[in-house]
């Protein structure tokens, strides 16, 4: 990841989550080995009922490409989320990120968008 991309994160937690998602997508075996090590070394999760399900899922997961960090996309998402939160909604409104990035870059951007409400 470039220094410019690393500087674009608001904090280390945001950067760590982004990088962990890419490890999960592109190097599932690495992520699987970490989960197994945590399960064996941590008594709090050694007998957790969902740990084995997670490991089985990771074993079956197909390798996916990495997500590329894009400043315009991150800025658009953050601006869209700020606007949505200001609405003080009771149910999360769908969409808005694609329209916001098109507004920021001045042209349509071919992409897909998924909203996960109540997460």
Q: What is the pLDDT of residues 34-93, one digit of tens each?
A: 888 888 888 777 777 788 888 888 888 788 888 887 888 888 888 988 888 888 877 777
Measure CA 39 to chain center.
23
Region label for 96, one of left (φ > 0), alpha (ψ between -120 and 50) or beta (otherwise): left
- Determine the Cα–Cα distance for residues 65 and 46; give it in Å rounded to an integer: 31
Closest CA to 66 of 116, 100, 31: 31
pLDDT at position 3 is 62
Answer whether 0.75 is exceeded by the pTM: no
Q: What is the mean pLDDT of residues 5-15?
A: 77
pLDDT at position 115 is 72
pLDDT at position 29 is 85
């Amino acid at each position: 990841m470039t220094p410019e991309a690393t500087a674009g994160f608001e904090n280390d937690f945001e950067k760590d989550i982004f990088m962990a998602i890419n490890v999960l997508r592109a190097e599932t075996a690495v992520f699987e080995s970490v989960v197994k090590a945590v399960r064996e070394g941590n008594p709090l999760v050694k007998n957790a009922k969902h740990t084995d399900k997670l490991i089985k899922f990771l074993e079956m997961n197909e390798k996916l490409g990495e997500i590329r960090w894009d400043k315009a996309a991150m800025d658009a998402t953050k601006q869209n989320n700020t606007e949505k939160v200001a609405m003080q909604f009771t149910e999360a409104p769908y969409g808005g990120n694609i329209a916001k990035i098109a507004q920021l870059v001045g042209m349509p951007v071919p992409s897909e968008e998924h909203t996960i409400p109540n997460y």
